[in-house]
Amino acid sequence: MLEVRHLRTLIALAEAGTVSRAAERVHLTQSALSHQLKALEAHYGVAMVRRHGQSVKLTEPGQRLVTLARTVMGEVRTAERDLTKLVRKPAGTLRIVLECHTCFDWLMPIMDAFRKHWPEVELDLVSGFHPNPLALLADNKTDLVIGSENKPRRGIVYHPLFRFEVLAVMPTDHRLKAKRYLAASDFAKETLITYPVPEERIDLIRRVLKPAKIHPRRRTTELTVAILQLVASRRGVAALPNWGIKNYVDYGYVIARRIGKSGLWSNLYGATTGEVARLPFVRDFLETARRECFAKLDGVVPVQ
Amino acid sequence: MLEVRHLRTLIALAEAGTVSRAAERVHLTQSALSHQLKALEAHYGVAMVRRHGQSVKLTEPGQRLVTLARTVMGEVRTAERDLTKLVRKPAGTLRIVLECHTCFDWLMPIMDAFRKHWPEVELDLVSGFHPNPLALLADNKTDLVIGSENKPRRGIVYHPLFRFEVLAVMPTDHRLKAKRYLAASDFAKETLITYPVPEERIDLIRRVLKPAKIHPRRRTTELTVAILQLVASRRGVAALPNWGIKNYVDYGYVIARRIGKSGLWSNLYGATTGEVARLPFVRDFLETARRECFAKLDGVVPVQ
DNA sequence: GAATATTGTGAATATCATTCATAATTCATG
DNA sequence: CATGAATTATGAATGATATTCACAATATTC
């Protein structure tokens, strides 16, 4: 019998492209999904996926069920939102601090959607640089901090968002363009173009270059597009999330390479106080962010 | 976590009005539904039903989930129809014989819906009187016989549709109008108005009057409205399904009374050959009929 | 107020989803 | 083409949890 659980996994499967990945996303084992699929196929007497070498592709019936799943899950979500609103009008505010500059790119559409679903909730983006963003939570100066920090602290709850790869961005004719991936030493003679934040906030420096005692020149600018412009015009190289530069790379504006053999990966968390974490609209915000990012952003995987 | 199963029971609950009835409909015990409800209410932290004396009424959140359930189940059904069509274009015919005259009333809308969902299937109503309709199945003269017969026969499968009460219909000023229910003897001096079919086909005669050796005068006519007209103008009494006369009774055109202390109940079955029973569109037809009748017809309950 | 209907609940049971362990398969690579 | 890494499939064991059972509590009807 078809259940919501099956719909969930079908969506995950459609978006992840492999059973194992999909399993991670719905917090089950690969085996569980395999069994679920088998049960579904037995029940309807049709193959839902076709193994195309490594990856799995949905068959036509599978596609049909995925579209069903998408609409159904959407309806379930709005119904559940209505439900929490019925319980108590959830007036409130949600003030967000971004530790990571690039996050603006994906956060905007999410905020737009949120405003539609929760018009009663005042949404605020606390901008500007903060030396210790998590302290703002305790001081009740903000409600949600989005960043890669997840050190346990009393009173603070971390909500894993997603995991992404940071790539080195270089001009198309760069001397290192032949390499599959860059080592720390490769950055020695380069100018590093970054956002104007302290070194500790830049993953590449903190986790790769500093341990290797390499200190390249730095040049800073505020906007992602500005960074890319500087890179394209050979003023230096940058390190940016793969989803932030995908379009520019596809277009041939710049090229991107791995950093280190297995890549430089970063986790993103939403941090709140325990109290805020319980607010229905906050939970909805985080859940929506997670879901939309997995669906829309390239190369994004679940945290750990 | 919300599952399709919960949606099913919510719909059943909304339509049945009591937990026990709803349980019958989804083929579970009352206890199971009680637990399900409790789990749902715990999960969302809201009461879904409010006990209003005997019957249960859905709360506002409950209502919201029922509307969700209705749309979701509708989408699931069309998706499943699409699925079976994807497997193999199900061209075919569905010829229906009606053993019961009144059934026209509810069958028409069902047939209309069916034509929409399965335009490739030719739908046929085999009309006229047949002495032994079930024999037509074996002879492949028809595909589906709808009647109250369910004696086991080799090669024939019975699909329970629903159970309904047959009421005595009388003019508003009838001498027996004060009685709560009519005994067999009450019919002795009456003229019985029926459809033009043999006595064995008329439940009241076969199951009540004949055993009591009572043989009232009979007068026949083809249409339900004609029967009601005759009754209203004091030409006799009739025995008809409660759902077929509800409107006329509510309007004060005629009155209706139980037959016997616990009423005269009748079961309706769809009979097919085992082969036909496996055809997806036949299964869909029967399922739709069942569902729609439970939802739209008054006083209809599951078979046994 | 007894008899009947229905609901709620904890414990027992049964069912079924999930995991575990492992074999089979595919793909990249030296 | 052998090897290893990564994936999927599958049967058996496990675990979770939905359902039933048994019964108390409550409401309803005559």
Can you give the distance from the CA of residue B206 to the C1' of nucleotide D10 in angstroms? 58
The pLDDT of residue B145 is: 95
Domains B90-162+266-296 and B164-265 share a fold: yes
Q: Does residue B130 carry a pLDDT above 90?
A: no
CB contact under 8 A, B64 and A76: no
According to the CATH classification, is domain B4-85 in 1.10.10.10? yes
Closest CA to A91 of A115, A116, A119, A124: A119
Full DSSP string of A62-106: HHHHHHHHHHHHHHHHHHHHHHHHHHS---EEEEEEES-GGGHHH
A104's CB contacts (< 8 A; 6+ apart) are A98, A224
The pLDDT of residue A304 is: 61
Residue with token string 């769809």: B270
Q: Does residue B90 carry a pLDDT above 80?
A: no
Answer for A53: CB within 7 Å of strand C: yes
Q: Which bases on strand C have an atom closer than 7 Å to a protein beta carbon?
A: 5-11, 17-21, 26-27
Full DSSP string of B258-281: EESTT-EEEEEEEEEEHHHHT-HH
Closest CA to A166 of A227, A96, A234, A233: A227
What is d(CA A208, CA A188) in angstroms, rounded to the nearest whole number? Answer: 12
CA triple A160-A163-A165, angle to 5 deg:
160
B75 Cα distance to chain centroid: 24
Structure tokens at A182: 């860059």
User: Between residues B247 and B168, which one has the greater pLDDT?
Assistant: B168
What is d(CA B264, CA B168) in angstroms, rounded to the nearest whole number? Answer: 9
The answer to whether the beta carbons of residues B57 and A39 sit under 8 Å apart is no
Answer for B54: CB within 7 Å of strand C: yes
What is d(CA B58, CA B69) in angstroms, rounded to the nearest whole number? Answer: 13
The answer to whether the beta carbons of residues A124 and A228 sit under 8 Å apart is no
pLDDT tens-place values along chain A, 304 residues long: 899 999 999 999 998 888 998 998 899 999 999 999 999 999 999 999 987 767 788 999 999 999 999 999 999 999 999 998 888 777 889 999 998 888 888 999 999 999 999 989 999 998 777 888 899 999 899 999 999 888 899 899 999 999 888 999 999 999 988 888 888 999 999 999 999 888 888 999 999 999 999 999 999 998 899 999 999 999 999 999 988 898 898 889 999 998 987 788 889 999 999 999 989 999 999 999 999 988 888 878 887 6
The answer to whether the beta carbons of residues B188 and B174 sit under 8 Å apart is no
Answer for A175: CB within 7 Å of strand C: no
Domain ranges of chain B: 4-85, 90-162+266-296, 164-265
What is d(CA A43, CA A65) in angstroms, rounded to the nearest whole number? Answer: 13
Q: Which tens digit of pLDDT belongs to each residue from B217-275?
A: 999 998 899 999 999 999 999 999 988 898 899 899 999 998 988 888 889 999 999 99
Query: Strand, coil or helix: what is B177?
Result: coil
Q: What is the mean pLDDT of residues B113-122?
A: 93
CB contact under 8 A, B76 and A68: yes
Q: Is A224 left (phi over 0), alpha (psi -120 to 50) or beta?
A: alpha
Residue A56: in which H helix or E strand, if any?
strand A55-58
The pLDDT of residue B304 is: 63
CB contact under 8 A, A83 and B46: yes
Q: Which bases on strand D have an atom closer than 7 Å to a protein beta carbon?
A: 6-12, 18-22, 27-29
User: Between residues B213 and B303, which one has the greater pLDDT?
Assistant: B213
What is d(CA B140, CA B35) in angstroms, rounded to the nearest whole number? Answer: 47
What is d(CA A253, CA A180) in angstroms, rounded to the nearest whole number? Answer: 18
Can you give the distance from the CA of residue B57 to the C1' of nucleotide D25 in angstroms? 20
**Nearest C-alpha in B relative to A78:** B68
Answer for B13: CB within 7 Å of strand C: no
Answer for A2: CB within 7 Å of strand C: no
CATH topology assigned to domain B90-162+266-296: D-Maltodextrin-Binding Protein; domain 2 (3.40.190)
Tell me the CA end-to-end span of chain A in Å, nearest whole number.
Answer: 32
What is d(CA A162, CA B9) in angstroms, rounded to the nearest whole number? Answer: 36
Rg (CA), chain B: 21
Q: What is the mean pLDDT of residues B202-229?
A: 92
Query: Strand, coil or helix: what is B114?
Result: helix
Of B4, B79, B83, the CB nearest to A4: B4
Single-letter amino acid, residue B119:
P
Q: Which tens digit of pLDDT belongs to each residue from B37-61?
A: 999 999 998 989 987 767 788 999 9
CATH of domain A164-265: 3.40.190.10
Q: What is the mean pLDDT of residues B107-124?
A: 93
Closest CA to A217 of A241, A233, A235: A235
The pLDDT of residue A217 is: 94
- Residue A274 pairs with which residues in a beta bridge? none
Of A2, A60, A79, the CB nearest to B64: A79
Closest CA to A224 of A200, A201, A240: A240
- Model confidence at B89, pLDDT cuts 50, 70, 90, reads confident
Can you give the distance from the CA of residue A54 to the C1' of nucleotide C24 in angstroms? 14
Closest CA to B127 of B94, B93, B97, B103: B97
Q: Express as a percent the part of chain B with pLDDT over 90.
A: 58
Residue with token string 């015919």: B93
The pLDDT of residue A214 is: 93
Residue B175: in which H helix or E strand, if any?
none
DSSP letter, residue A210: T
